[in-house]
A and B are shown apart, each in its own frame.
Chain A
């Protein structure tokens, strides 16, 4: 049964390599995108942290900034 699934009547190499290529591409794209997102989130947090009191108050008025901060707090 296992041998049959692996060999697939001699087509195993073609089938498994197609699925493997697809899944590896998915994993690479996911991790690259995740890395880019984490990098921008870290940059945002450090920039926000370096603002003075007045600028922080202005920045906090924007709802999207608050959303980003709350989402980055889980990093």
Chain B
């Protein structure tokens, strides 16, 4: 299983996949945008402002999912002493960070017409900001300690510490009295969102996930070629 993550095996796939993923992303995004901006109904309370949900919610989900995956691969690099796991973690971070920023900015824009303010130091919003800071620290650590022996240890520690914040983000709306609404889409319990809004939300989430995959593949190829460049220097 671990052998599958070795660059020699995986590069054959990752070098060819981006063009297909890009094509699929454009198709799914076009359908998603049409649904989200034109076809989906307006909300009886929030009117058209509800459409911001179609970019805000998927961005937040992908940011959280990416950080969780990044942490799992960081733990994997510790447990299995496999440097390719840390390469995967490193390649996941840029898209996760951008999705986190998108979630924060679009959330702020959504806050103005619904809450009357651009920002509130509310548990959900603050914990999302902390996640963005962990992403920034993780990316900066790779940049600062690149090529040094302890880079994997430092970045893995940042990822593991940041992962403590992930369940806090998820349950912040239940644990504290927050301005942010509680979850409308639940896997284990009833979903309170109407199907006419759930479909565009699902399509936009699929589009965002494809974009995240596209950036991951391109970043992974870049990191791999960087290693091979160093290998050529040593020949």
Contacts and interface: CB of A to CB of B under 8 A. Distances in A.
A22 interface: yes
B181 interface: no
Contact of A44 (B16, B33, B110, B225): B225
A34 B221 CA distance: 10
A29 B48 contact: no
SS class, residues of chain B in contact with chain A: helix
Interface in A4-49: 5, 8-9, 11-12, 14-15, 17-19, 21-22, 25-26, 29-30, 33-34, 36-37, 40-41, 43-44, 47-48
SS class, residues of chain A in contact with chain B: helix
Contact of A9 (B7, B42, B52, B226): B42
Contact of A14 (B8, B12, B52, B235): B52
Contacts of A62: 8, 228, 231
B184 to A, nearest CB: 18
Given A29-B94, A62-B8, A21 B215 contact: no
Q: What is the interface residue range for chain A against chain B?
A: 35 or more
B47 A63 contact: no
Contacts, number: 117
Interface residues of B, number: 46
B30 to A, nearest CB: 12
A55 B48 CA distance: 63
Contact of B214 (A5, A11, A30): A30
A8 B222 contact: no
Looking at A8, A17, A18, the one whose CB has the most chain B CB atoms below 10 A away is A18
A58 interface: yes
B102 A15 contact: no
B48 A44 contact: no
A24 to B, nearest CB: 10
Interface string B1-43: 0000001100110011000000000000000010011100010
A25 B96 CA distance: 12
8 contacts: A11-B113, A15-B48, A25-B98, A29-B98, A30-B214, A43-B229, A58-B235, A59-B232
Interface of A: 5, 8-9, 11-12, 14-15, 17-19, 21-22, 25-26, 29-30, 33-34, 36-37, 40-41, 43-44, 47-48, 51, 55, 58-59, 62-65, 67-68, 71
Q: Please give me the 10 A-B residue pairs with the lowest Cβ-Cβ distance, nearest first.
A: A8-B48, A40-B225, A71-B15, A11-B48, A18-B106, A11-B49, A22-B55, A37-B222, A64-B8, A47-B232
